[in-house]
Amino acid sequence: MTTLLHSARVLTMCEETGELENGYVLVDGERIADVSAQAPDRPLPPADRQIDCRGGILLPGFVNLHCHASMVPFRSMGDDCPDRLRRFLFPLERDALTRELVYLGAKYAIGEMFLSGITTFVDMYYFEDEVAKACEETGMRGYLGETVLSQVTPSAEHDREGLRLTREFLSRWHGHPLVHPIVAPHGTTTVSPEALRACHELAREYDTLMTLHVSEMDDEMRYFEEMGTTPLGYLDSLSCVDRHLLAAHCIHLTDGDVKLLAGRGAKVAHCIGSNAKAGKGIAPIRDLRDQGVGFGFGTDGPSSGNTLSILDQMRLFAVTQKTKYHDRKLFPAREIVRAATRGAAECLSPSPAFGYIAKGASADLVLISTDSPAMFPAYNPYSALVYAAGTQDVSLVMAGGKIVVEDHSLTAFSLKDVRAQLQRAMVPFVEAAEKYPDCV
């Protein structure tokens, strides 16, 4: 089936094409067949279905580089509670997290991400095969990893079992068109050095990503400072810093850390929403960019960043980086939109088939309406996206050629039905949470 999206302001994120003031994108099956400016003296190409974009902004689907999608049941629990990870998140996960909650939480989160224009996400959690099932059912592209921890988790008694589950996950999903299995040790202080080395060896063996939390927590920084190093320096001493590494957060980087990431070809998932909410600090992304380190944005989980919207991250990123460096001209809006699309895609693959609009690329597209009050006038479409657009402006989303959002509504599946199922499945979870008074 062919679909023509026309009368759009097309942001291709390709240097050679740039922006098309009045353009169209022709989709054939899962791929983009053509992209061009519309000429008044030429008819539009034929298609099975034509969609009038009414002057909206058409760009590649957003890429979410760091998430724990299935943590929807934890949303709004203890948002202002310090050290909640150890005080009740870890314990409550061990007490009450089930496969059903992971599956339904992931499916709900995927619906939320589709509605905000996200068509690819990176996830690390437990029972990750349930997240993979949700991706397969909905058409969401996921880079997914089973969390490895050197402690008891909902899915493993110790890190050896977590490593076994990771290998099984890698083997089962390797080569899948939607599910890209990765390796996901939790963090620098929560996983033993032996397990971290083993995780990296798996990433190399399967030529995939390894992602973990790095230089995020104050106690993490103090721990390694007493050892005379940094979290990133520690990972490098284990031979874990190379092109396979996607380091999440990276708030407290030294100049040496930045140079190390650049020299080793590692990438960074910047989660400004959750970082700022927790008062942890602002990552030195200008310095990373200047050294050529690839980066993109992550929403973090629904418990940490609360909303699964890259549009939110773009706006927060712009204002915090400009404030941190006292430089209004820093990170022009076009550069920020690129980081949310093609830049993030390039963090996942050296030659991604998504993240840009060109012939042969995956038909992952998001149409942002300019009908809302805040979106008029939109002289600069990149500025409109970064500083004014919200999830309410996401009009249409296409994932792999399939329309999953149309007229601002989810078409891939019924989010209302998933919510009802999730709410029923959460009853024992909510009861278990009652013994943690800081939760609710």
State how far the Cα of 131 lies from the Cα of 68, in Å rounded to an integer: 10
Tokens of 16: 């050679």
Place of tokens 């971290």: 196
Claim to verify: residue 55 and residue 174 sit in the same structural domain: no
Residue 427 lies in a domain: no
Task: Tell me the CB-side half-sphere exposure of residue 61, using CA atoms within 13 A.
Answer: 31
Q: Is residue 250 part of a domain?
A: yes
* 52 and 80 housed in the same domain: no
Q: How far apart are CA 346 and CA 353, in angstroms?
A: 10
Report the pLDDT value the prediction gives residue 177, as an integer from 0 to 100: 96
Does residue 173 sit in the same domain as residue 46? no
Residues contacting 120, CB < 8 A, separation 6+: 61, 62, 63, 64, 140, 141, 142, 143, 344, 345, 348, 354, 355, 364
Q: Is residue 308 part of a domain?
A: yes
Widest CA span of the chain, in angstroms? Answer: 71
Pairing mode, if any, of strands 184-185 and 394-399?
Answer: unpaired
Handedness of CA 151, 153, 157, 159 (dihedral sign): negative
Phi and psi angles of residue 145, each rounded to the nearest 5 degrees, phi first: -140, 140
> DSSP assignment, residue 108?
H
SS3 82: coil
Answer yes or no: do 82 and 228 share one domain. yes
Residues 36, 133 within the same domain: no
- Please state, in angstroms and rounded to a whole number, the distance separating the CA atoms of residues 206 and 387: 40
Give the CATH number, domain containing residue 29.
2.30.40.10
> What gap in Å lies between CA 427 and CA 424, rounded to an integer?
6
Please report which residue ranges of 186-309 form alpha helices under DSSP H: 193-205, 218-226, 231-237, 255-264, 272-277, 285-290
Residues 272, 374, single domain; the answer is no
Residues 34 and 103 reside in one and the same domain: no
User: Does residue 415 lie within any of the structural domains?
Assistant: no
Q: Do 342 and 394 fall into the same domain?
A: no
Q: Which residue has the tokens 């007493």?
A: 226
pTM: 0.97
The three-class DSSP label of residue 131 is helix
Q: Token digits for 99?
A: 């496969």
Segments forming the whole domain that contains residue 293: 62-348
- One domain, residues 173 and 266: yes
Cis peptide before 284 (omega within 30 of 0): no
Q: What is residue 410's three-state secondary structure?
A: strand
Per-residue pLDDT of the chain (440 residues; tens, 9 = 90+): 999 999 999 999 998 888 999 999 999 999 999 999 998 888 999 999 999 999 999 999 999 999 999 999 999 988 888 878 888 888 899 999 999 999 999 999 999 999 999 999 999 999 999 999 999 999 999 999 999 999 999 999 999 999 999 999 999 999 999 999 999 999 999 999 999 999 999 999 999 999 999 999 999 999 999 999 999 999 999 999 999 999 999 999 999 999 999 999 999 999 999 999 999 999 999 999 999 999 999 999 999 999 999 999 999 999 999 999 999 999 999 999 999 999 999 999 999 999 999 999 999 999 999 999 999 999 999 999 999 999 999 999 999 999 999 999 999 999 999 999 999 999 999 999 888 877 76
The reply to whether 331 falls in a domain is: yes
Q: Judge if 253 and 211 occupy the same domain.
A: yes
Q: In total, how many domains does the chain have?
A: 2
Answer whether 66's CB lies under 8 Å from 300's CB: yes
Q: In terms of DSSP H, where are the helices of 116-239?
A: 128-138, 159-173, 193-205, 218-226, 231-237
In a domain, 419, yes or no: no
Q: What pLDDT, on the 0 to 100 scale, is given for residue 41?
A: 82
Taking the C-alpha atoms of residue 149 and residue 147, their distance in angstroms, rounded to an integer, is 6
Looking at residue 11, what is its pLDDT? 98
- Asked if residue 102 and residue 183 are part of one domain, the reply reads yes
Report which of 103, 100, 108 is spatially closest to residue 75, judged by C-alpha positions: 108
Q: Is residue 322 part of a domain?
A: yes
Residue 311 burial (CB count, 10 A) = 25
Same domain, 389 and 405: yes
Residue 430 is assigned to a structural domain of this protein: no
Could you tell me the CATH number of the domain that includes residue 282? 3.20.20.140
